[in-house]
Chains A and B, each alone.
Chain A
Amino acid sequence: MVNTICKAGLCLSGLLGLLAPTLVAQESIAVQGGRILTMAGPAIEDGTVLIRNGKIAAVGADVKIPIDARVIDATGKVVMPGFVEAHSAAAMSRSNETNPVVPYLSVLDTIDPMRSYFEDARRNGVTTVAVVPANRTMIGGQSAVIKTAGTFIDAMILRRDAGIKVSLEPQGNSSRMGHLAALRHQLDEAKKALTETEKTKEGAEDDASEKALQVALQRLIKGEIPAILYCDGAMDVGPALKLVKDYGLKPILVLGRDCYKAADQIAEAGLPVILDANLVFWETDPRTGEDRKIVVTEAFRKAGVPFTFQVDGSNTNLGTSYLWYQAATAVKYGLPRDEALAALTIGSARILGVDRFVGSLEPGKEGDLVILTGEPLEVQTWVDTTIVRGEVVYERANDRQLQRLLDDSGQ
């Protein structure tokens, strides 16, 4: 697996090298004077983050600032890595495919960088997002990890083959048994085709799209692409883990809220998870009629399962700002604040396999950071500035929409 990431990394750096002259900001930026939460060690008081050529060049208390650097004063503010949203279909023009088996499609073809989603993401400090098809397609398209700033999608890509979405939730009239049987059948076919191609060293299929399907599925069962497995209920967790075992998948678990019941089973499997958007809800015992408050984050924290958050499926229209609220909710119910912040940054990056590039403020990583007006997860704190790949992509002072909103409310 490490190999895979390295390969992906190599491809990527090749790509970056090619495009660098046109796409990456040349100037150096020094963010100076703030309290720096690096997510890779203790906080640095009154520190400096130096970004050069789109990458972090230095982080520390005594960083020498080059003469040509643009200096951003963050005195009294908090500097931390840009948030990494681990699972979102909001950037896609349509989140689900009707055809149940489409692993050869790529979300990159559906993303419009001009969507308001991206502007909002930058406003809320999200600098990296994994665009993943939603949960209604049995074998959905290929996901990608992209930056939230840019005009052309090709320039925004961080990782192209971030995973193939596989949903264990039956759709339409099919029962769970039928759904799983069909899913296994697809994987079996791919496995069989794989052994056959290995034998003959050449694909015998004439149908080009059929071949694309097989290639995608074969990459899935060879572990070249992670399987992003959606479990709707706790009862889906067992079959999902069995699929992982039987077909050698590289899993990323995306959970429905009732999956908290299977927290111990997931802990035993040693997998990190992406939680449902609803973290706190009430459940009625069908037998006694008693109401119980369920705090999903606590169930997983107690079981020792690393997790991160997602916004999709929440009953709010808060968009990416909801991540902030979710992390704060987790802290309210007992998650240490540092772990909640890690979940939003380096934790998500690890789950997505992009932690070598984003998720913390360390030299060599991409120059993504947010400057907050105060401590994170507080109600009164605003995102002041967002920087993506060394470019200032959001400033609150110039946020007309926000200003209009606040003016209207009489503030």
Chain B
Amino acid sequence: MCAAFRIPGFGVAAVLVALSLCPLEASESHAYFARRIWTGQGAAIENGVLVVVDGKVTVVGPRTATSVPTDAVRHDLGDQVIIPGLVVAETSLAGGANDVEQALTPQNSASDGFDFYADRTVPLSGGVTTVQLSPGAQRLMPGVGAVVKLGGSDPEQRMLRSHEGLRLVLSDESRNPPTIYEPPVGAVSVDRPLEPTRPQLSSTLGSAAAGLRAIFGAARRNTASAPTNGDPVMQALASHLFLGGTVRTTAHTAPEIRLALELAREFDLRMVLVDPSELRPFSAHFAEWPQRLQGVVFRGRRPGRISNPSAEQAGKQHDPWESARALVDAGLRIAIRPDDDDDLEDLLFVAGQFRQGDLTVEQTLRAITSGPAEILGVSDRVGTLAKGRDADFVVLSRDPFALHSHVLATYVDGRAVYRRETTERTTVIRADALYTGNGTVRSDATVVVQGKTVRGIGDISAGPDATIRSFPGAVIVPGFVDLGSGLGVGGSLGDEVSLETKLGDQLDATDPAIAIARQSGVTTVLFGSSNGSATPLVAFKLGDDTRVVGDPVAIRFRLGENLRSDVPGLERTLDRGKAYHEEWLRYEKALAEYEARQREAGPSETPTEEKASTEDPDQAGPSEGEGQENVEGRRPGGRGTEGRGRRPRGEGESGDGPPGRGRERGTDDGDEPAPSEEGETDSDTKADEEEKKDEAPKKPQANAGLEPYRLLFTGQIPAFVEARRGDAIEAALELFRTKHDLRTVLIGVDDLARFPDLLDGHDVSVCAGPQLFVTRDHQRMNLPLHLSQAGIPFGFQSRATTGVRDLPAVVQYAVSQGLSASEALQGLSGVAAQVLSDTSTFGALAVGHDADLVVLSGPPFELGSQVLAVMIDGRWVYEKESGR
């Protein structure tokens, strides 16, 4: 019919779409093996299998006695349990709470109010796959319900019944209709007389009864004889009853329930009783109810809520499950629905509460699966797992209603519409070879990544839900480390940066250069100012969130052109750092001795000690520092708190040092008094107050500008020393190695070309680059090759931003000129990390390390090898295919 409308260009597209909608693909079979399968009818099947072909259940039965099609995809769910998709006998998901003005609107259909395009993940996460839609809640006869599925793509397929039961609300909710109903009036083009205002049903149960009897009577006469005279209410009602539609009646109290039963009897209605609470008076008649009622829908208690009724109400309150068992035993279908649509995701818990009413697991499960499906008239499609039914099912971690049992996945028409997100995602990466970055090459090149970490390497098993990525013919190498980049703040740092600065706080994750830099496989970079001496270096990952892995990760020093001033300045700086470090060492030693003495003195002392500290929250370090808030952040010059958090005790004191403290470069630093002096004056008064026999050692004043030296002098971080000329290198070795015995990494040792033996016999490492070939006096030297021959560990740096990308290519050139590929790779990964710290979790590929890796199409540094993919902290950040 729309040929005349179609634009030629679009015509082709429309045909293509039409083709793609046809089920051209071959049938799709899946077999799910589970510890137990509850079919929604009868006892559970132990060690069962559920076979699904094209979205329908074909077989369900015990694993041993069931033949599974050979082409079926097999899913072993292990100890998990399968139940049918849950069915809810009444919800307001069609906007039923939004009532129209009229009290009687049987022509309204809830199917018109349902949004098939809304997100239904929340109820699906609770295993609910099918729901009834109520047309309204606060009118006597709000309309006709509908039954829909919450998952699936085609709205027509999802509509199980567009015309379900006609709803009657006999309970209090409908007692307050808009008192006067006025038909729309106003300036209209058609002359219509003003209709008189009229009151609406129903203000009392009696008027509801009388009105309904009159209407049902008229409708019954109408179905029998001539059609109505155009009254939409009568028309709709007559056709609903004529078609044998059910009437679902909400009735809480005994009189309301009685009226419902009476109406059912008088007009021979197929009735469903909804939300009855006062059932006890009828208990003697339950045996007759299966003949008179289609079923009973119970309303569960809201989970996790405290209701607080008045004493009078509470006395009349009944547990919703009070009569459930008796009705089941009488042979009636029952269903359990949550009180509120917000509780749909907790339906299993809501129904589980009914087990207090002596319902068995099977009976309770039935009340949220096959029971409501039968009541709603959709049991030929959903509610049970049997041959020919829709493959709507839920995978639970344990049996339904068992403690800690939760929904792992929900399937509709054989497709997963919900899967519980496990926080630790598992990825398995397979290739043909794996270089660990520590000199080993493995052929069992499988890496199992869980979350951010490498969980295993080699032939080990992963969970069934692991994502598997295979790279046939490819090689896995560790993510590369750039020991000195310009990446970090999206530009240059400019001025000198003092040691108290936490560069990690200033990183800019949005810097577009990062995405470019990591394309070649560099995953970790160091960053810091290239000016000045004694400045911090930070290490961070090039992932989307620039995760900091060391702040500071090293301290950078410089021995420049003027050694005569540089060397003494640097000496003073180091001495001061050392003094600070030693002061803390003394304090820690004294504290340890003091604590030992305290322990020896017996427990009697401890309570008073604790009491004192709780009474006086301002009391500082001298006693136990625990419970002290860190107030360092308030210091004007201080940036944040200490990143490493290794010494909680070290941060207790609030120091009021000058903001510029620690900014000095060594040349201009005065003979500052030892920090402890200031600390003494600060805490003098307090110390006086609590003069005790055995005084706790006084805590030195923390100084953010000197804190990194404690890491340096304990060997936890290295000193990066830039020294280019031969004499500078010698001075650096003398100062950092011979005098202070620090972990030392030399940068820019260009003069090795002139004095190749300069480093021999020294325990130092070298950070080479950006130029790996140095020329001095017409001598061209392959620096890394020379270092490797001299047995000196080395890493590489780029000093670039986007140019970080070229670092592996620069190393590749050094390899082509004689450097061994294995050592080059180690310099880019394992050794680079070792140079920084013995406890780095990046660098080499090893179990427990960060999942930073690069997939290459061939062996590393081969000219034809390409980067296929890069993973940082367990997440793919670059893939050649997608060009991300």
- A interface residue numbers (CB < 8 A to B): 1-2, 5, 97-100, 102, 105, 173-181, 184-185, 189, 192, 209-210, 213, 233-235, 238-239, 250, 258, 261-262, 264-265, 267-268, 270-272, 285-287, 301, 303-306, 336, 338-339, 342-343, 346-347, 350-351, 353, 355
Q: Find out whether the CB atom of B119 lies under 8 angstroms from the CB atom of A238.
A: no
Closest CB-CB distance, B237 to chain A, in whole Å?
Answer: 13
Closest CB-CB distance, B194 to chain A, in whole Å?
Answer: 15
- B interface residue numbers (CB < 8 A to A): 1-2, 4-7, 9-10, 13-14, 16-18, 21, 94-95, 98-102, 105, 107-110, 112-119, 121-122, 135-136, 143, 153-156, 184, 186-191, 230, 232
Closest CB-CB distance, B161 to chain A, in whole Å?
Answer: 15
From A213, A268, A338, B21 is in contact (CB under 8 Å) with: A268
In the bound complex, residues from chain A placing their C-beta under 8 Å from that of B7 are 272, 306, 339, 342-343, 346-347, 350
In the bound complex, residues from chain B placing their C-beta under 8 Å from that of A355 are 4
Give Cα A1–Cα B6 distance, bound, in whole angstroms. 14
Closest CB-CB distance, A212 to chain B, in whole Å?
Answer: 9
Q: Find out whether the CB atom of B16 lies under 8 angstroms from the CB atom of A181.
A: no
In the bound complex, residues from chain A placing their C-beta under 8 Å from that of B10 are 272, 304-306, 339
Q: Find out whether the CB atom of B110 lies under 8 angstroms from the CB atom of A98.
A: no
In the bound complex, residues from chain B placing their C-beta under 8 Å from that of A175 are 95, 98-100, 108, 113, 136
Q: Find out whether the CB atom of A350 lies under 8 angstroms from the CB atom of B4.
A: yes
From A5, A179, A233, B4 is in contact (CB under 8 Å) with: A5
Given A1-B4, A350-B5, verify A181-B189 contact (CB < 8 Å).
Answer: no
Given A98-B188, A234-B116, A338-B9, verify A177-B4 contact (CB < 8 Å).
Answer: no
**What are 27 A-B contacts defined by CB distance under 8 Å?**
A1-B1, A2-B4, A98-B187, A105-B189, A173-B101, A175-B95, A175-B98, A175-B108, A176-B113, A177-B95, A179-B112, A189-B230, A192-B230, A209-B189, A234-B116, A235-B117, A238-B155, A238-B156, A265-B155, A270-B14, A271-B2, A287-B119, A304-B13, A305-B14, A339-B10, A350-B4, A350-B6
Q: Find out whether the CB atom of B100 lies under 8 angstroms from the CB atom of A178.
A: yes
In the bound complex, residues from chain A placing their C-beta under 8 Å from that of B135 are 177
In the bound complex, residues from chain A placing their C-beta under 8 Å from that of B18 are 268, 270
Closest CB-CB distance, A158 to chain B, in whole Å?
Answer: 16
Closest CB-CB distance, A165 to chain B, in whole Å?
Answer: 15
Q: What secondary structure prevails in chain A residues at the interface with B?
A: helix
Closest 4 CB pairs of A and B: A304-B13, A235-B115, A304-B17, A306-B10
Give Cα A306–Cα B62 distance, bound, in whole angstroms. 52
Q: Find out whether the CB atom of B190 lies under 8 angstroms from the CB atom of A213.
A: yes
Give Cα A338–Cα B1 distance, bound, in whole angstroms. 25
Q: Find out whether the CB atom of A234 lies under 8 angstroms from the CB atom of B2.
A: no
Give Cα A345–Cα B640 distance, bound, in whole angstroms. 63
Given A178-B105, A209-B189, A287-B121, verify A234-B115 contact (CB < 8 Å).
Answer: yes
From B5, B9, B17, B99, A342 is in contact (CB under 8 Å) with: B9
Q: Find out whether the CB atom of A261 lies under 8 angstroms from the CB atom of B110.
A: no
Give Cα A272–Cα B136 distance, bound, in whole angstroms. 35
Q: Find out whether the CB atom of B5 lies under 8 angstroms from the CB atom of A272.
A: yes
Best-buried of B7, B17, B155 by chain A (most CB within 10 Å): B7
In the bound complex, residues from chain B placing their C-beta under 8 Å from that of A262 are 117
Q: Find out whether the CB atom of A99 lies under 8 angstroms from the CB atom of B188.
A: yes
Closest CB-CB distance, A221 to chain B, in whole Å?
Answer: 15
Give Cα A235–Cα B159 distance, bound, in whole angstroms. 13
Give Cα A35–Cα B378 distance, bound, in whole angstroms. 64
Best-buried of A174, A176, A262, A286 by chain B (most CB within 10 Å): A176
Q: Find out whether the CB atom of A181 lies under 8 angstroms from the CB atom of B117.
A: no
Give Cα A271–Cα B102 distance, bound, in whole angstroms. 36
Give Cα A99–Cα B10 distance, bound, in whole angstroms. 38
Closest CB-CB distance, A285 to chain B, in whole Å?
Answer: 7
Given A174-B100, A175-B98, A177-B100, verify A287-B188 contact (CB < 8 Å).
Answer: no
Q: Find out whether the CB atom of B232 lies under 8 angstroms from the CB atom of A181.
A: yes
Closest CB-CB distance, B113 to chain A, in whole Å?
Answer: 4
Closest CB-CB distance, B369 to chain A, in whole Å?
Answer: 26
